[in-house]
Amino acid sequence: MKNMNINKLKTFAACGFSAIILAFTAGCAKESSVDTSGMAKAFIEAWIKVNHPNASASGLGVYILEDTPGTGAALTDKDLYVIADCTVTDLDGNISSTTYENVSKQIGTFSEANYYGSDIFFLNRNYTAAGVIDIFDGMRVGGTRKALIPGWLNVNLDYKTAEEYEKNGSGTNAIYTVTITDKTDDIIQWQIDKLQKFVATNMAGVDSTKYGYYSRTLKQPTSDETFSGDTTYYINYTGRLLNGKVFDTTIEDTAKVHKIYNSARDYAPMVVHPASESDYTTVTISSTPTEDGTTVVDGFAFCLSKLRPFEKVICAFYSELGYGYSGSAPSVPKLCPIVFEIEVVAEPE
């Protein structure tokens, strides 16, 4: 991806920025001072003049370099979340992150274990950099915008004015190219809608016994009784995103087929230590019956607490019962519904 004239930038970095430094040094001899934020701002303004002379600062001070308007719904003050594809580069055009699989392959950072797809941006400065939020201002779904975010705006701080950011913000200059694919003022309902579409297509005859949770029996159990609190049992499982991407499994062949096989891992059924009758979240799993169990996400635990002997189920649930806001990097993005297929199996010999 080429974001600028590299030769011009190198010339500017060698000459223009040095000239700025010299000017500030000369100023100090006159008993005046220029703080680092002033130097940083002067550098950005000079870079813009050389590389994008027609760009102007908007909002808090983000420079819009390219803008392709979208034809979808416009963002409003009520929208709390923007779903967008995004590529981030430095001022030399070097890519530091991308949501695109093909771009990741081009720059040599691709991994089968990683999630690729639109990211969710929470439009709150405590969670998303102020400059990133500023980029989205005035955009529509389907629109693409490329913008330079000065380092002082590439921070999770909440100030009222551009001047406060210039004085106190300390981040890295970055160029973001974003394409909005969706937006919502209710991220929970947004997930529920996606789950219901998935369920309608992939889980016919589904049962929903808990908000945000759906399950269906794929293989009938040999008994209608659930496991008692003092009975351990074995399971195989495979975890997927709604798009079918496998992020975890106990089955070696499945790991190999989906190219997430790890030779350092022992692929084998896991031991389930059932929950107490009053709290399904106390379910734990371990590699052997004698090991201490580890906790699992709530949706997985809820499913385990309902299993019966040799039953196989598919369960799907929203992020509140899964990996929450943060997700589980690098394979499960934030605020992501997930799906598990779980089967009770015989104890390995």
pLDDT tens by residue, 309-319: 999 999 999 99
Please give the structure tokens belonging to residue 309. 């002997």
pLDDT of 349 over the 90 cut: no
Query: Are 286 and 170 contained in the same domain?
Result: no
Provide the number of structural domains found in the chain: 2
Q: Is residue 10 part of a domain?
A: no
Q: Is residue 43 part of a domain?
A: no
Kindly report whether the peptide bond that precedes residue 330 is cis, defined as omega within 30 degrees of 0: yes
Which residue, of 155, 185, 215, is where some domain finishes?
185
Which residue from 318, 319, 321, 313 is spatially nearest to 340, judged by alpha carbons? 313
The pLDDT value recorded for residue 4 is 33
Segment 243-269 mean pLDDT = 97
pLDDT of 30 over the 60 cut: no
Residue 341 half-sphere exposure toward CB, CA atoms < 13 A: 16
The pLDDT value recorded for residue 275 is 79
CATH number (domain holding residue 120): 3.10.50.40
The pLDDT value recorded for residue 10 is 30
Q: Output the average pLDDT for the chain.
A: 89
When comparing pLDDT for 32 and 80, which is higher?
Answer: 80
Q: How far apart are CA 182 and CA 140, in angstroms?
A: 9
Query: Are 212 and 327 contained in the same domain?
Result: yes
For 314-333, write each residue's pLDDT tens digit.
999 999 999 999 999 999 99
Q: Is residue 256 part of a domain?
A: yes
The pLDDT value recorded for residue 229 is 78
Q: Is residue 119 part of a domain?
A: yes
H/E/C letters for each residue in 49-116? HHHCCCCCEECCCEEEEEEECCCCCECCCCCCEEEEEEEEECCCCCEEEECCHHHHHHHCCCCCCCCC
Query: Are 222 and 329 contained in the same domain?
Result: yes
Cβ-proximal residues to 222 (8 Å cutoff; 6+ apart), any chain: 308, 309, 310
Q: How far apart are CA 259 and CA 178, in angstroms?
A: 29
Q: Is the Cα dihedral 100, 103, 104, 105 positive or negative?
A: positive
* Exposure string over 217-252, b if 16+ CB within 10 A, otherwise e: beeebeeeebbeeeeebbbbbbbbbbeebbbbbbbe
Which residue, of 121, 155, 185, is where some domain finishes?
185
Query: Are 90 and 233 contained in the same domain?
Result: no
Segment 87-96 mean pLDDT = 97
Query: Are 181 and 197 contained in the same domain?
Result: no
Lowest mean pLDDT segment, chosen from 23-27, 100-104, 227-231, 232-236 = 23-27
Query: Are 244 and 138 contained in the same domain?
Result: no
The pLDDT value recorded for residue 228 is 81
H/E/C letters for each residue in the chain? CCCCCHHHHHHHHHHHHHHHHHHHHHHHCCCCCCCHHHHHHHHHHHHHHHHCCCCCEECCCEEEEEEECCCCCECCCCCCEEEEEEEEECCCCCEEEECCHHHHHHHCCCCCCCCCCCEEEECCCCCCCHHHHHHHCCCECCCEEEEEECHHHCCCCCCCCHHHHHHHCCCCCEEEEEEEEEEECCHHHHHHHHHHHHHHHHCCCCEEEECCEEEEEEECCCCCCCCCCCCCEEEEEEEEECCCCEEEECCHHHHHHCCCCCCCCCCCCEEEECCECCEHHHCEEECCCCCCCEECCHHHHHHHHHCCCCCEEEEEECHHHCCCCCCECCCECCCCCEEEEEEEECCCC
Q: Is residue 7 part of a domain?
A: no
Q: Is residue 32 part of a domain?
A: no
pLDDT of 33 over the 70 cut: no
Q: How far apart are CA 11 and CA 288, in angstroms?
A: 63
The percent of residues above 70 in pLDDT, for the chain, comes to: 89
Residue 96 domain boundaries: 54-185
Indicate the pLDDT class of residue 37, thresholds 50, 70 and 90: low
Query: Are 230 and 324 contained in the same domain?
Result: yes
Indicate the pLDDT class of residue 14, thresholds 50, 70 and 90: very low
Query: Are 269 and 231 contained in the same domain?
Result: yes
Q: How far apart are CA 141 and CA 125, in angstroms?
A: 21
Query: Are 66 and 97 contained in the same domain?
Result: yes
Q: Is residue 140 part of a domain?
A: yes
Which residue, of 168, 185, 202, is where some domain finishes?
185
Lowest mean pLDDT segment, chosen from 29-38, 103-112, 203-212 = 29-38
Query: Are 161 and 78 contained in the same domain?
Result: yes
pLDDT of 49 over the 50 cut: yes
pLDDT of 32 over the 60 cut: no
Query: Are 201 and 339 contained in the same domain?
Result: yes
Segment 169-182 mean pLDDT = 96
Q: How far apart are CA 122 and CA 327, in angstroms?
A: 14
Query: Are 284 and 328 contained in the same domain?
Result: yes
The pLDDT value recorded for residue 252 is 98
Q: How far apart are CA 133 and CA 325, in angstroms?
A: 18
Q: Is residue 268 part of a domain?
A: yes
Cα 156 to chain centroid, rounded: 16
When comparing pLDDT for 165 and 30, which is higher?
Answer: 165
